[in-house]
Each structure stands twice: as C-alpha cells, then as structure tokens.
Amino acid sequence: MNNKPAILLIYTGGTIGMVKDFKTGALRAFNFNQLVERIPELHLLDCAIETYSFDVPIDSSDMQPDLWVQMASIVEDNYDRFDGFVILHGSDTMSYSASALSFMLENVHKPVILTGSQLPIGDLRTDAKENLITAIQIAALQENNTPVIQEVCLYFEYKLYRGNRTSKVSAELFNAFTSPNVPHLAESGVNLRINHSLLLQKPLSLPLTVHKKMSRNVMILRLFPGIQQQVLEAILAIPNLEGIILETYGSGNAPTEPWFLETLRCATQKGLKVINVTQCSSGSVMMGKYETSTELKEIGVISGKDITTEAAITKLMFLLAQPDIVDFKLAFETPICGEMEV
Ligand code: ASP
C-alpha cells in the first residue's frame, strides 16, 4: 500500500512556466509537461504528485473570478483523493487569488498553497525550484495522518504566509511578498520551522463547502489630496455598483469637506456598501480615533480593520454574492478565516 501523501499540482500559468519568445523578447506561457520535465527533483520528493493544467495557462494579470471558481472546483472535485494542493500562479495577482480562495473554500482541512516565481523555471538563477519544491513539501506535511496546514496559504522565497494576509510588494526582489499584519506561518531554512500557534484549525466535523459566486459589482477607490467631487460622484453613479473599497489615509481618515461626506452618505443610504481600508501597508483602521473619520462611522461606513486591499475586495465580492446576509456590516467586520484581526 502506498502511504505517501498525495499532492495535486495545479498549473494556472505565470512566470514560473514561461519561456522567452525569441522574436519579441516577451515572456509567454508554455506547455506544463515541459515544466515538470525541467524539475527532475520532483521525483525525489516523498509524495505522490499528480498534475492538472489549465487548458490555456495565463499570465495572472488576466485572472478573473471565473478562474477562481475553476480553481475552487478543481480542489473540490479532487478533495477526497489528495492530501494537499499546490497551485502554480503568476505572482502579480497571487494575493487576490489566495484571498478569494480562502473565502470560497469554507472549512478546508487540507493545505491549498499558491506559489510561483519571479524568474522562469528554465532560468539559471531561477527562484522557481525552491518555491515549488518547498511548497509541495509543506503541502505534504502530516501529523497523526492529518495535514499540518489546513488553510489557503502562499509560499514564496522561504516563507509560508496566510494567503489572505499577503500583498505583492516587489516586482524585482525574490522576496516579493509580505504579510504586514500577521507573522509568517512557517520559514524554510536548514529546517522547516512551523509556527504552530498561528495555524488555523477548524473542527474536522465541518465539511468543505465550496462557494462559487462572486459579485463583480465592486470597485476600489484610493483617496488622494485634491480628489474632486465629480470623480467621486461619477464612481458612485456606476450602474449596479454594490460595494466599494475606500482606501483612506492612516488609521482610516478621509477629507471632512461637506461635499465628500454628503456624497458618501447618499450612497450608503441607497444601500451601497463602503469599506474603509487604510492605504498604509500595515496597521489598522480605527474609525473615530480622529475627527476625520468620526463622520465616516456615523454614515455607516464599514471598518476593514487591518485587512489588505486584496482580501477586502475579494471578501466584498464574496459576501455580496451570499444570499442570506442580514447584517452586512457585521458580516464584513467579522473574520471568516483569519483575514482580519478579531
Ligand atoms: N506577470 C506574471 C504573472 O503574474 C508575473 C509572475 O508570474 O511573477 O503571471
């Protein structure tokens, strides 16, 4: 009998599997089987790996909610046959996908680890091999026949992060991701160090429930000094707009000019969900701390607390598609799977 952990390696695209087009010099996706051939080390891992490739691998700049549904469905369809899932994904939108999947895969008890690379796998100085091999090793970790990691994570450059806490912060460095408000869950050095106290654990009795609807009637508005009334009005007049992530200053502060607050008030009264997320790369929204955010609280703006913009927009898309939410503000301000402080 084969007791090796079974891992499903899902290839969606991204630099990791790209080659240079000699005519244009641009990177483009190529055949996944060739990718596996380029890493003979995969055969040395103490797990049974099967692969699944998107028919048309994409640069992750083309990521769409439909493709999140496809990824979630692949995990769902193969959930009983595999002990863990590694998703190869372009780094550009990896934090969005990791966040979206964390909400869509409710009660996941097996590791779903997204990884990719800054350089293609065939490049001499590639970071792809380490990222891929260690992500698979982490996905295969078990204690008492139970997966150690039971959530959606992102592995990059020696660190395992909670997926919905990450942001891509560098287009240049191998160390491209950060998790500003929650420490990494594991670090790979000479040994693999797992920070067990940070890992999410849900009762095994709760079954995996896969949510496949995401609203696209959303948008992100980043405030800047000098923003004009007509800009805000035009955005809030977008037909069918249901929710907006408002990227504010510091601990959730915004202009106090009457036109700004009145325009927002009208929108929230008509049912638009407005989520306050800070532009700062770390820290939390605290509406009411300064006068410049007191009014936002009064007009029903929802606190994103210390959530990232990537997790905020995907949580908004997710919650707006849930049919039975009575108190949307409460639902948004309540953590679902570690994406915000309690
Ligand atoms: N443009 C690429 C992508 O996100 C970058 C990468 O994979 O790192 O698909």
Average pLDDT over residues 323-332: 96
94 CA: nearest ligand 1 atom: 4
Closest alpha carbon to 219 in 303, 311, 297, 317: 317
**Structure-token match 């948008």, residue found:** 219
Asked whether residue 1 carries a pLDDT value surpassing 70, the answer given is no
Name the catalytic one among 12, 15, 134, 278: 15
Biggest CA pair distance of the chain: 71
Q: What is the pTM of this model?
A: 0.95
As a whole number of angstroms, the distance between CA 139 and CA 132 comes to 11
Q: What would the two tokens of residue 241 be?
A: 């707009």
Give the mutation target among 30, 58, 89, 91 for probing the ligand 1 site: most ligand atoms within 8 A of CB.
91
Report whether pLDDT(308) > 70: yes
Residue 65 to residues 70, 98, 224, 243, 308, Cα–Cα distance (Å): 9, 12, 28, 16, 18
The pLDDT value recorded for residue 193 is: 97
Quote the pLDDT of residue 19: 76
Q: Which residue has the higher pLDDT, 120 or 309?
A: 309
Q: What are 49-60's pLDDT values in tens digits?
A: 998 999 888 999
pLDDT tens digits along 25-38: 787 766 677 666 77
Comparison of pLDDT for 342 and 318, the residue scoring more: 318
Complete domains list, the chain, with CATH: 6-210 (3.40.50.1170), 218-333 (3.40.50.40)
Cβ-based burial of 341 (10 A; exposed 0-12, middle 13-18, buried ≥19): exposed
The two structure tokens encoding residue 297: 């609280």
Neighbours of 190 (CB within 10 A): 5
pLDDT for the residue numbered 34: 67
Higher pLDDT, 115 or 51: 115
Contact indicator for 251, 289 with CB cutoff of 8 Å: yes
Spacing, Cα 129 to ligand 1 middle (Å): 16
3-state SS assignment for residue 322: coil
Annotated catalytic residue 334: no
pLDDT tens digit sequence for 230-244? 999 999 999 999 999
Count CA atoms closer than 13 A to 240's CA, side-chain side. 4
pLDDT in tens, 85-110: 999 999 999 999 999 999 999 999 99
Cα gap 111→144, rounded to integer Å: 15
Contact indicator for 129, 151 with CB cutoff of 8 Å: no
Give 294's pLDDT tier (boundaries 50, 70, 90): confident
Q: Which of 15-29, 110-124, 264-278 has the lowest mean pLDDT?
A: 15-29
% the chain with pLDDT above 90: 81
**Best mutation site among 92, 93, 114, 167 for ligand 1, i.e. most ligand atoms within 8 A of its Cβ?**
92
Tell me if 60 CB under 6 Å of ligand 1.
Answer: yes
Q: How far is the CA of 151 from the centre of ligand 1 (A)?
A: 23
- The mean of the pLDDT values for the chain is 94
Q: Which of 70-79, 184-193, 286-295, 305-314 has the least mean pLDDT?
A: 286-295
pLDDT classification of 318: cutoffs 50, 70, 90: very high
pLDDT band (50, 70, 90) for residue 2 = low
254: nearest Cα among 292, 226, 297, 301: 292
Mean pLDDT of all residues in 244-259: 96
Concatenated DSSP letters for 44-74? GSSSEEEEEEEEEEE-GGG--HHHHHHHHHH
pLDDT of 253 over the 90 cut: yes
Binding site membership of 92 for ligand 1 (Cβ less than 6 Å): yes
- For residue 261, give the amino acid letter: L
Helix (H, G, I), strand (E, B) or coil at 129: helix
